[in-house]
Amino acid sequence: MASISASSNHNNTSISYLAPFVASVLRDQVVTDLLAELKRKDERIQQQAEDRLQLELTGRHGDLVYCKASMKHGISATTPDGTSFWDAYFDPRYGTNTTVPNFVETVAGLELRLGGVVLFKLSEATCCIPHARFDSTRDDEPQMRLILFVSSDDGVRVCGRVGPIRYNDFVTMVTRRMHVTDLLRFLKDHQTNNTNNGRVLLPQLQILSVVFRKSQIKGILPLLEDTMEETATSE
């Protein structure tokens, strides 16, 4: 009986020695699990913020994404009358596609989306051709031409290039503000003039940037301002 009691006492003593170690291991595991959960939560919050800033030009119902960019790749600007804008630009350096092929056939379904929400449809927009440089010395060579698509409330503008268009054809185009259907009619009428080695060049649209009135994007302005502060700090 004495030996059993001694053995029991020894086991109890061993357990008492191990108890702090076991508690420490359990505590460390709990801390590790909590830190892992916090990391996953931070990643989800970050992804949600990125999704809210996602700018896309898609097909109808978002089925096909032609061009995409992030609102954080942009700059803030203010006009002389005090109107504030955010100019988000599309840049291949950020891995963003910028071109819509066969624009005449695809424009009917093109939708500009921010954070997955449709801002406006290009088929319902008006457009204008800015008085910008067009190389008249290459009048026999099809070129891309600057163009602006404007939403019905004038709060969002898509800046891009459309073409290819020959200079001699372009000078016949009315440069006033027009509906997209007028632009499509012009491109269709002059499409057969744009050839390369006998191959017809289908009109395409290259997206350069999207300009927002800041009053249109109040919900994400804090995210954009945080991005600007981080950029300024890193520089």
Q: What is the largest CA-CA distance in the chain?
A: 114
Assess whether pLDDT exceeds 80 at residue 134.
no
- Cα distance between residue 22 and residue 7, in whole Å: 22
Sign of CA pseudo-dihedral 14, 19, 21, 22:
positive
Assess whether pLDDT exceeds 80 at residue 193.
no
- Cα distance between residue 152 and residue 175, in whole Å: 19
- Count the Cβ atoms, other than its own, within 10 Å of residue 82: 6
Type of residue found at 68: K
Q: Which long-range contacts (CB under 8 A, 24 or more apart) does 63-66 make?
A: 65/97, 66/97, 66/99, 66/100, 66/106, 66/110
- Cα distance between residue 66 and residue 44, in whole Å: 26
Cβ(138)–Cβ(163) below 8 Å: no
Residues 6+ apart with CB under 8 A from 122: 57, 107, 110, 111, 112, 149, 158, 180
Model pLDDT, residue 179: 86
- Cα distance between residue 5 and residue 195, in whole Å: 102
The domain ranges of the chain are 1-52, 54-234
- Cα distance between residue 25 and residue 45, in whole Å: 30
Q: Which tokens is 53 given?
A: 């800033």
pTM of the entire structure? 0.74
Half-sphere exposure of 28 (CA within 13 A, CB side): 6
Assess whether pLDDT exceeds 50 at residue 2.
no
Token match 């009109």: residue?
203
Model pLDDT, residue 200: 59
pLDDT tens digits for 35-48? 777 778 777 777 77
Mean pLDDT, all residues of the chain:
78
Token match 């997955």: residue?
116
- Cα distance between residue 147 and residue 128, in whole Å: 6
- Cα distance between residue 118 and residue 156, in whole Å: 12
